Amino acid sequence: MQHYFYTLTDILDRHLQPNEIYLCHFTAEQSDFIRFNRAKVRQPGSVEQRYLELELIDGSRHTSGQTTLTGHLETDKDRLRRLLAELREQLPQVPEDPYLLYTQTVHSSEMVAKNTLPKAQEVFIDILEETQSYDFVGIYAGGGIFTGFANSFGQRNWHSNYNFNLDFSFYHEKDKAVKSAYAGFQWDTKSFQDQMARVKTQFEILKRPSQTIAPGNYRVYLAPAAVHEILHLLTWGGFSLKSQRTKDSSLRRMLETPTQTLHPSVTLLENTAEGIAPAFQAKGFVRPDQVTLIEQGRYHSPLVSPRTAKEYGVPTNGANDEESPVSLDLAAGSVPMTEVLKTLDKGIYINNLWYLNYSDRAACRMTGMTRFATFWVDRGEIVAPLSVMRFDETLYNLLGDHLIGLTKEREFIMESDTYEVRSANSARLPGALVEGFTLTL
């Protein structure tokens, strides 16, 4: 795959005119997919796809297009030449772009991962053995994800990664289910069985009669998956320099009021070095190993795309066009997972949150629903499942004044999106104990 991509870029080098510059971004995957319903394999399959996006530049004019590659060199040579010709024809017609910025300093890199994944047949045998007596639904996606970059200055970057993600639920009835995921780089039957045992324990509790509680303020535990939903919403412009300069950032209050902080235990990074996304982006800029977004509760640094950097005259740190983190890392706390229920004592154990959105963006106030396995806890014991409820809270309460503590252990969460290609976004997150969590209805 890597050699194939570089062969195509060599062709571009030979067909480029003296006044032209190209940027070339390559994405591909070789993935196995297995869809399960009622603990049966309903749709196994595999996907191999390759896309090449080409940007042609002349001075401050630029235009781009994408082509699907077949893997057959002669066919793809013709597709690439046609794409180049189309862009060359468009280029004189587009206006000059004052905010165009791309790297002209060569920073080549290579990250070639080893494939330690089992065959798909071995995976679904393990899954079926653990799920036969349950209404199990889910999808397994596993295989290689490949990203490349090249430009006419001679820069070449390559990143490959092999991982799997089983996103699944054990369904009971109506709105009652336990949702979980098992993901990683090497399938381990024992770890998978341990994960399934924890899910099955919660599933048995889910069969008990549901309890309804009144709207109000409660002590809660937010599992890492629930914390992920909160932080995912925060990535919608929260750390974007463009959003900050246009006063659209949900962290605006934190940026403009020095006394508005989060809990001192909250340190949040864009941790490229320990994520699964490539350390380069579509304009060729290389991302630093880490960008500190929030440090000990205080705002630290934004994410800056090349375009925003040019517009505001600041350095870029290799952020994507959306200036959204792709390798989030929230520092661990001091509460052992084994002590979560005891520390919670009386309150709500929330595995998942759903349908989050801002109810007051400027105040970083968000609303959403509990869903799947949410439990009432009394005297440090899970006693009953709870009916679905809506919450409305600010980040400054959740990870600020009302934060009791973060867990010592963290979960590595891979996003399960498969639109166009499998996502390379990830997060490493602890759970959070919070008091005064507001449920509205």
Q: Which of 286, 325, 306 is nearest to 242 (CA)?
A: 306
CA 110 from chain center: how many Å? 22
What distance in Å separates the CA atoms of residue 343 and residue 188, rounded to the nearest whole number?
Answer: 31
Q: What one-letter code names the amino acid at 293?
A: L
Q: What one-letter code names the amino acid at 258?
A: P
What distance in Å separates the CA atoms of residue 5 and residue 7, rounded to the nearest whole number?
Answer: 5
Q: Which of 277, 21, 56, 32 is nearest to 147 (CA)?
A: 277
Domain 2-206: CATH class, spelled out? alpha beta
Q: Which of 46, 9, 264, 266 is nearest to 143 (CA)?
A: 46
pLDDT for 248 equals 94
pLDDT for 372 equals 87
pLDDT exceeds cutoff 90 at 96: yes
pLDDT for 371 equals 84
What distance in Å separates the CA atoms of residue 407 and residue 344, rounded to the nearest whole number?
Answer: 12
**Crossing angle of helices 2-15 and 73-90, rounded to 10°:** 40
Which DSSP string do the residues of 328-370 spell out, in sequence order? EEEPP-SB-GGGHHHHH-SEEEEEEEEEEEEEEGGGTEEEEEE
Q: Provide the 3-class DSSP secondary structure of residue 400.
A: helix
pLDDT for 147 equals 97
pLDDT exceeds cutoff 90 at 258: no
pLDDT exceeds cutoff 90 at 174: no
DSSP 385: E
The token duo for 435 is 């008091």
Per-residue pLDDT band for 151 (boundaries 50, 70, 90) equals very high
118 close to 140: Cβ distance less than 8 angstroms: no
Give me the chain's average pLDDT, please. 96
DSSP 273: G
pLDDT in tens, 105-119: 999 999 999 999 998
What distance in Å separates the CA atoms of residue 226 and residue 335, rounded to the nearest whole number?
Answer: 17
Rounded to an integer, the average pLDDT of 382-399 is 96
pLDDT exceeds cutoff 90 at 158: yes
Domain ranges of the chain: 2-206, 216-439
Rounded to an integer, the average pLDDT of 58-87 is 96
What distance in Å separates the CA atoms of residue 274 and residue 286, rounded to the nearest whole number?
Answer: 15
- Please give the residue that has the higher pLDDT: either 441 or 25: 25
Q: Which of 127, 31, 106 is nearest to 286 (CA)?
A: 106
pLDDT for 5 equals 96
Rounded to an integer, the average pLDDT of 299-315 is 97
Q: What is the largest CA-CA distance in the chain?
A: 75
pLDDT in tens, 354-379: 999 999 999 999 999 998 899 999 99
